[in-house]
Amino acid sequence: MHPDHYRHTELPPSTEYELYFGPNHPGIEGNYALKARLAGDTVVALEADGGYLHRGFEKLMEQRLWIQNIALVPRICVPDPVPMEETYARAVETLGGLEVPERAQWLRMLVLEMSRLTAHLFYFGGHAATVGLYTNMFWGVSDRDRLLDCFEQLTGARVYHMYITPGGVRRDTPPGFLDSLSEVLDYVEGRLPKFDDLFFDNAVLVRRATGTGTMDQAFAIDYGVTGPNLRATGLAHDLRRDYPYLKYAEVEFDVITETAGDAYARTLVRRGEVIESLRILRQVIDKLRSVPGPIRCPLPNPLAWRIPAGDAYTRTESSKGELAYYIVSDGSAKPWRVHVRGPSQMHAVQTLEALCVGARIEDVAQIMFSLDACPPEVDR
């Protein structure tokens, strides 16, 4: 169509206007769009427009073998893929009655916490960029890369590891891995004071994030908010402590809470979780040095692997919140139905829409990043 051929449209006079925010926009997290209704620079209403990343995972998983789905599940959430593998694997184990060896459980905890660290470091970078602190974005991304190198050493891949399989893990730690991981953990811990100087105690962040996107505890529970966002409202709810899976009951860690419920509180919760993750990881490394054993229980021929009929619901505390899989098996070689309860859907759609009302347009990106929503997981 020729541009000159567009018809001029008359609308009734109004002080409000509509602004398309995304999907091609640096302030948006991933391929996601928001339709904002603005008066001046204040958001009157916000409508989330997802679906750009929809791949139909739940349907795809019905068409693949139980073992093939291991390659599919981490792709649901790109920045934090390991909890996806873990939750799926645990659901299959529940259905199939598989016993995971002890060493494999510790290895799983290791990758889970490493994934949480990478996701939180990425989050620091992303949140910093939305308030204009670009140095911090570079720091967050490059520090995350050190952990990705550890992932590569352990699993052979940087982003999609496909390390956790039903019944165990894919391979044992290579020689010297635990030492190099410890070094990286020390490095990350040593970086936190610098992050404090540049980011957490930065007046730019404190003044812009305090009071932005505030929610109270009742609101959070009503809207299905979970994870660090819920803990930032003062409720100490953590599946790792309340409903422990793997060996979380055997490690010491605190559940970090804040009470303000705003963007700054959410950032501080994640900062505290980085420290707790480091604590957990050090305990796991100590255990891995002493716990021997197999890393996988014996599996049948994966191409003819039938899981007994039944259904299972498993939950994991991912870096974004409560992640759950509901899997129904009809006794065949493929799942009959898979449902993914992703935490980001509650955060990026309803919660974001509600929190942005009354905020200023420049804070919309910050609110979205502070909720740490993951668009591929929203759309699935």
Asked if 147 is part of the footprint of another protein (rule: CB under 8 A), the reply reads no
Exactly one of 17, 41, 63, 242 binds another protein (CB under 8 A); that residue is 63
| Shortest distance (Å) from residue 259 CB to another protein | 32
16, 18, 145, 197: which one contacts another protein (CB under 8 A)?
Answer: 145
Q: Considering the rule CB under 8 A, would residue 10 count as an interface residue with another protein? A: no
Is residue 60 part of the contact set for another protein (CB under 8 A)?
A: yes
Question: Binding to another protein by residue 17, rule CB under 8 A?
Answer: no
Task: Indicate whether 59 belongs to the interface with another protein (CB under 8 A).
Answer: yes
Neighbour count for residue 289 (Cβ, 10 Å): 10
Residue of 16, 17, 25, 357 interacting with another protein (CB under 8 A):
25
Site for another protein in 76-105 (CB under 8 A): 78-79
Chain positions 157 to 186 lying near another protein, rule: CB under 8 A, are 157-160
Residue count, binding to another protein (CB under 8 A)? 43
In the set 138, 207, 332, 357, which binds another protein (CB under 8 A)?
138
Q: Does 15 bind another protein (CB under 8 A)?
A: no
Q: Provide, rounded to whole angstroms, the least separation between the CB of residue 81 and another protein.
A: 9
| One of 16, 40, 41, 56 touching another protein (CB under 8 A) | 56
Name the site residues for another protein (rule: CB under 8 A).
Answer: 1-7, 9, 23-26, 30-31, 51-56, 59-60, 63, 71-72, 75, 78-79, 122, 125, 137-138, 141-142, 144-145, 148, 157-160, 376, 379
